[in-house]
């Protein structure tokens, strides 16, 4: 899946990335779902090993346009993973306390600990995305944040965190279909927000903001992946396979018992 990895320093034009692409997998949807099940089994085993070894830290960042599939990706990819070793963190409107600190303060508190895997459902990148698009702070201020973020992620990786960042790339037509589905299905009405329509009007501005994010913050240590997300089943394969490959590359091993267990006998209970 390296075809979707953004090379550091690459200028990104999202019009050249097909959101309906599935060239990294030769099979159809049925075969894809079967393969995803295999990936989930491997991921569950690797996450258990990650937790037992208690040495590495994993941070997964998910960003997307509205309806891009962040929640669905979490549900479909991490099914079967031990919930004790995983944390999902969503970043809502900052609280008064959070606003009284620097913008990365609330993010750093949720960085993964040793042995754990943390998923950011939206992230610190909102501070160079929606903040930029809506003009919430002056340009001079948000322009500095790319360097802040790169330095923050370097700190995390220096301390043993593996960072994988996924931009779930959907087309405007696909977004329209998903918004309409929320209107048509009573079980999805609660997910529809009229404000999403206002955000949709700003699509070109968000594209420009994401292109700058991908160009300026994809690094060797913390790479971005542009994931074709119009086909949900393929989106899930790209994310799952990338995470599995990264975990397998850590060369983890099961901890060795502190004491010699050869002579241990479990006593009977009278």
Q: How far is Cα 182 from Cα 137, in angstroms, rounded to an integer?
A: 32
pLDDT band at 24 (very low <50, low <70, confident <90, very high): confident
Per-residue pLDDT, 11: 96
Q: What is the pTM (predicted TM-score) of this model?
A: 0.95
pLDDT band at 257 (very low <50, low <70, confident <90, very high): confident
pLDDT, average across residues 52-72: 96
pLDDT band at 235 (very low <50, low <70, confident <90, very high): very high
Helix (H) / strand (E) element for 120: namely strand 117-121
Q: How far is Cα 142 from Cα 216, in angstroms, rounded to an integer?
A: 13
Angle, alpha carbons 137-71-149 (nearest 5°): 35
Per-residue pLDDT, 172: 97
Q: What's the whole-number average pLDDT of the chain?
A: 94
Chain mean position to CA 37? 19
pLDDT band at 215 (very low <50, low <70, confident <90, very high): very high
CATH annotation of 2-248:
3.40.50.300
Q: Is the pLDDT of residue 259 over 80?
A: no
């Amino acid at each position: 899946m390296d075809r979707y990895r953004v090379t550091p320093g690459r200028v990104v034009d999202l019009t050249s990335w097909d959101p309906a692409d599935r060239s990294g997998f030769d099979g159809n949807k049925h075969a894809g779902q079967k393969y995803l099940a295999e990936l989930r089994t491997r991921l569950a085993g690797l996450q258990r090993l990650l937790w037992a070894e208690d040495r590495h830290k994993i941070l997964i960042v998910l960003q997307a346009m509205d309806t891009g599939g962040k929640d669905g990706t979490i549900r479909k990819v991490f099914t079967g993973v031990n919930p004790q070793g995983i944390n999902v963190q969503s970043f809502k409107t900052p609280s008064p306390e959070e606003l009284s600190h620097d913008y990365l303060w609330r993010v750093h508190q949720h960085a993964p600990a040793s042995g754990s895997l943390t998923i950011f459902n939206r992230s610190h990148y909102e501070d160079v995305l929606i903040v930029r698009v809506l003009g919430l702070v002056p340009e001079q201020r948000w322009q500095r944040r790319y360097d802040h973020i790169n330095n923050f992620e370097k700190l995390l990786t220096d301390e043993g965190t593996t960072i994988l960042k996924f931009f779930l790339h959907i087309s405007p037509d696909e977004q329209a279909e998903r918004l309409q589905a929320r209107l048509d299905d009573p079980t999805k009405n609660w997910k529809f927000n009229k404000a999403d329509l206002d955000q949709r009007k700003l699509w070109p501005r968000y594209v420009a903001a994401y292109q700058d994010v991908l160009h300026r913050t994809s690094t060797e240590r913390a790479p971005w992946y542009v994931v074709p997300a119009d086909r949900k089943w393929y989106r899930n394969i790209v994310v799952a396979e990338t995470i599995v490959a990264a975990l397998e590359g850590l060369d983890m091993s099961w901890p060795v018992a502190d004491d010699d267990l050869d002579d241990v006998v479990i006593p009977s209970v009278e």
